[in-house]
Amino acid sequence: MDIQDVVIIGGGMAGTISAFEIAKAGYRVVLLRDGWGASPHIAGFNLPGAEAGDSAACFLEDTLKSACGQADPVLAKILCEEAAGLDDYLKEIGFCLDTDESGNIKVRKSLGSSYARVVGKKNSTGADILAIVDALLRKKENVTVLNHTRALRLLANDGCVTGVLAYDKKREAFFTLHAPCVLMACGGYAGFYPFSSNTKDMAGDSVAMALLAGARAIDMEFVQFEPSGAVWPESIRGKGLITTLFYDGAIMTNALGERFMLRYSPEAERVNKDVLARCIAVELREGRGTARGGVYFDSRGVDPQKMHEIYGHFVKRYQNVGIDLLKEPVEVANAAHTSLGGIRVDENCQTNLKGLYAVGEAMGGLHGANRLGGSAGTETLVFSRRAAKAICGALKTASCREDVEEGPPRLTRELSPARIEEIKRQMAFLLDRDAGVCREEAGLRAAAEQLEQLYEEVRNASFGKDDRALFEKYSLENNLVTAVALVKSALLRDDSVGCHWRLDREAPPAVRYRTEALIKENRICVQKVNFK
């Protein structure tokens, strides 16, 4: 039996930082990496106090307001208070923030913020931090990084996680790892929408694995849509233009040339992303969108020098497809961007299953119904270290149990390749139609029923007799588990709050509550729980 101290699922910034911190404490770590996730696209992060007058208290106030009162107050407080020390931590590992000629940290203002507090290094913050920490990690002899490896199931027994069932894509074979602690850091589920800023592999493995093992998920209905996902050209479809540009002179117009946001708010485009996404959805529903189904993001009003110095990454992205952001607007629309729901955790990133932790976009509850711009990177930096500290504390008394299933079960009834692709298309269609920016009861109910039927079909079937086929089965099954939990949560929440917009129930909840998903007797169930 291959026994480790910790298995970390996910090789992006959250997983890599956690692995490095745990390894520094001397524990044996296996990091399963199947790509870098969304980390390379983190342009910056919120650092309270970067602008004069700002503070952790102001950051917390903005975070709770942006979350529409739905954020876990304990997690939000931790985020905002511990973010203040991030500059010192990053300097320790060799990462320096951009500064001006006077040595002051350069800051940008994000949507929903009272102060400019987004900091970084050009627009490659996530990629640069990840490269630094990964290099440090590889110097640790007590760390094993398994590339091209994806976890599909957790091994659990009697309320305790005991390991991971993983798949090696190169060898096309399953194997098991056993450990008293497992950290979920493999991202969220926005990638299973047909129009998304995420890669398609970010489709809910984390939530599904946790639910199937007996953990609980929270706030699954809250999916933040990026209001500036590129509609065209096809090669960059879904990639976003950063919304801090609205504070530097960028605007939005519809197909009629109208600066439509002036009709909705005196702040025009400088509103929270959930509000901006709803307004774009209205423009499209009422026929004022482009032929490709978008609106125009116009950055011609931005100072050219600032555009090149601060937003050069985006200028280059569009230059590569023949578009000059300084001379012409681009078509954008709402792209599924961030899953705000996820695995339910406490202040130490621990779930209700002993030994199972979650961090980054895999965990839910922090951002409530809408995430403040710039806080994704902050969340990753704060909670990856916090999870590592909690795991190191647990490992002092932990031991690994051996009474676990050694391999994946084998089923006999097969689905044809054509049926597999049809199920994938059907799931994407239902999510796009009924669980996008605009939602209503009839569509959500129909989608929930159809997705649950698809889940049962996949759960009780095999895709073949080899490990590659079984990998496809488990991946699709995970997507469907998460999709059902999302849609059922959206159906249960019969009101509108933040990024959850019910056309038939536009009023916010009279009394705050949360939705919690769990699995009982192979059925995905959702219930309302009191807000603490």
Q: And the tokens for 247?
A: 């504070």
Full-model pTM = 0.94
Classified as helix, coil or strand, 320 is: coil
Classified as helix, coil or strand, 99 is: strand
Rg (CA), the chain: 22
Q: Are 182 and 357 in contact (CB under 8 A)?
A: yes
Exposed, middle or buried: residue 264 (CB in 10 Å: 0-12, 13-18, 19+)? middle
Residues whose CB is less than 8 angstroms from the CB of residue 39 and which lie 6 or more positions away in sequence, other chains included = 12, 13, 14, 126, 127, 129, 130, 380
Please report the domains of the chain, with CATH numbers, ordered by start residue.
225-335 (3.90.700.10), 417-530 (1.20.58.100)
Classified as helix, coil or strand, 380 is: helix
Helical segments of 271-335, H only: 273-285, 304-310, 312-319
Per-residue pLDDT of the chain (532 residues; tens, 9 = 90+): 467 899 999 999 999 999 999 999 999 999 999 988 888 889 899 999 999 999 999 999 999 999 999 999 999 999 999 999 999 999 999 999 999 888 899 999 999 999 999 999 987 899 999 999 999 999 999 999 999 999 999 999 999 999 999 999 999 999 999 999 999 999 999 999 999 998 877 888 999 999 999 999 999 999 999 999 999 999 999 988 999 999 999 999 999 999 999 999 999 999 999 999 999 999 999 999 999 999 999 999 999 999 998 888 899 999 999 999 999 999 999 999 999 999 999 999 999 999 999 999 999 999 999 999 999 999 999 999 999 999 999 998 876 665 545 455 554 457 788 888 999 999 999 999 999 999 999 999 999 999 999 999 999 887 666 788 889 889 999 999 999 999 999 999 999 999 999 999 989 998 999 999 999 998 999 999 988 6
Handedness of CA 504, 508, 510, 513 (dihedral sign): positive
The partner residues of 157 in beta bridges, in order of sequence, read 160
DSSP string covering 366-378: SSTTSPPTTHHHH
Q: And the tokens for 361?
A: 């976009």
Q: Are 395 and 5 in contact (CB under 8 A)?
A: yes
| Phi, psi torsion values for 9, nearest 5 degrees | -100, 110
- 1: closest CA among 164, 145, 168? 164
Distance (Å) of CA 71 to CA 33, 62, 402, 472, 495:
30, 11, 38, 35, 17
Residue 499 CA to residue 524 CA, distance in Å, equals 23
- 378: closest CA among 196, 70, 117? 117
Classified as helix, coil or strand, 108 is: strand
Residue 225 CA to residue 218 CA, distance in Å, equals 18
Query: What single-letter amino acid sits at 440?
Result: E
- 300: closest CA among 372, 251, 360, 237? 251
- Residue 2 has what pLDDT? 66
Tokens 């320096």 locate to: 96
Residue 464 CA to residue 413 CA, distance in Å, equals 8
| Phi, psi torsion values for 133, nearest 5 degrees | -70, -35
Residue 189 CA to residue 487 CA, distance in Å, equals 12
The partner residues of 439 in beta bridges, in order of sequence, read 502
Residues whose CB is less than 8 angstroms from the CB of residue 66 and which lie 6 or more positions away in sequence, other chains included = 112, 272, 367, 368, 370, 371, 372
- Residue 411 has what pLDDT? 46
| Phi, psi torsion values for 75, nearest 5 degrees | -65, -40
Q: Are 133 and 8 in contact (CB under 8 A)?
A: no
Handedness of CA 103, 109, 110, 112 (dihedral sign): positive
| Phi, psi torsion values for 342, nearest 5 degrees | 170, -160
Q: And the tokens for 505?
A: 């129930």
